[in-house]
Amino acid sequence: MKITFIGLGNMGAPMAANLARAGYDLTVCDLDPAKATELQSLGATFVDSPEKAVQHTDIVMTSLPGPKQIEAMAGPAMLEAMKPGSVWIELSTNNLEVERSVRAKAEKQGVEMLDAPVSGGTEGAAKGTLTIMVGGDLPVFKRCQPLLEVIGGNVMHLGDHGAGYVAKIAQVVLCYLHSVALSEALMLGVKGGVDAATMLAIIQNSTGTSYVADRYGPPLLDGTYDPGFALGLAHKDMRLTLELAQSISAQLPLCTQVEDLYGRAVKAFGPDQNHLMALRLLEEANGQYLRKQDQRETA
């Protein structure tokens, strides 16, 4: 089975590396050839355009920034070069509108589609333990399941096309809500006189603790704001949340506020900053960094 993996970013590169290590015949592609260097040393072949990379391939996997880039692949740039009977497994976080329009084009081409967005961050991608939420036809899922189990520890078929994207958006929103909640709780403690590291340790050992407290607390306190996921992509997820909510008439007041915060942070700091920079706005509003004692200064 020949596989092509397109999009070798923070998530794509470690996922592709796991496929290469598992011995698959793998072609990889990214706008930036440097991102393929390590994969080439694992036996993958780099091709510099998606159109050339997908010819003669049985399965194409994409891990791209978002709807715009996915839509751009659904034409001569990639899809039209795929062979009939092949499968496009789309691993990014996407919206339902683009899912439908891309799938309609894929059907005309005789290409099967699965939406298979992932959760677990760069750590899960490196370890091959991602949660993968799949929408699409069950027989196609069954055919691709062994491959998905190389990159994921929890691979679930959720139903029809689009179900994966819905589940992904519904769970990822908690990451941002929790990040804001964590920073507000820390701010309350720190401004009230408790050391930030002590306050984080208390949160981690109390009823309000979360994966976010364990995973994002330390990079918030050391001022690195967590490389590995971009602020612009975090804001994209919040926008997708509000779009989905509107399309199904869900009222989500907290999500509306959090989307606004991430949007303002993108304007203030730029989309390429680390995602926890959104919380810098809270630090600035309070004139107080959430830092360990030895790194404390005034925001």
**Contacting residues toward ligand NAD, per CB under 6 A:** 6-12, 29-32, 35, 50, 63-66, 69, 92-93, 118-119, 121-122, 228-230, 233
Closer of 64 and 197 to ligand NAD (Cβ): 64
CB of 69 to ligand NAD, least distance (A): 4
Helix, coil or strand: residue 224: coil
Closer of 39 and 187 to ligand NAD (Cβ): 39
The DSSP secondary-structure symbol of 230 reads: B
Largest interatomic CA distance in the chain = 64
Q: Give the separation between CA 299 and CA 291, rounded to whole angstroms.
A: 10
Task: Please state whether 222 falls in left (phi above 0), alpha (psi between -120 and 50) or beta.
Answer: alpha
- Tell me which of 105, 127, 168, 191 is the catalytic residue: 168
CB of 235 to ligand NAD, least distance (A): 10
Closer of 107 and 272 to ligand NAD (Cβ): 272
| Residue nearest ligand NAD (C-beta atom) | 9
CB of 10 to ligand NAD, least distance (A): 4
CB of 156 to ligand NAD, least distance (A): 15
Closer of 54 and 233 to ligand NAD (Cβ): 233
Q: To the nearest 10°, report the CA torsion of 143, 148, 154, 156.
A: -40
CB of 23 to ligand NAD, least distance (A): 23
H-type helices in 205-271, by residue range?
Answer: 211-221, 231-247, 253-269
Closer of 218 and 228 to ligand NAD (Cβ): 228
Q: Give the separation between CA 21 and CA 219, rounded to whole angstroms.
A: 30
With contact defined as beta carbons under 8 Å apart, do 226 and 268 qualify? Answer: no
Question: Is 168 in the active site?
Answer: yes
With contact defined as beta carbons under 8 Å apart, do 215 and 181 qualify? Answer: no
With contact defined as beta carbons under 8 Å apart, do 57 and 1 qualify? Answer: no
With contact defined as beta carbons under 8 Å apart, do 245 and 214 qualify? Answer: no
Tokens 């751009």 label which residue? 72
Catalogue the active-site residues.
168
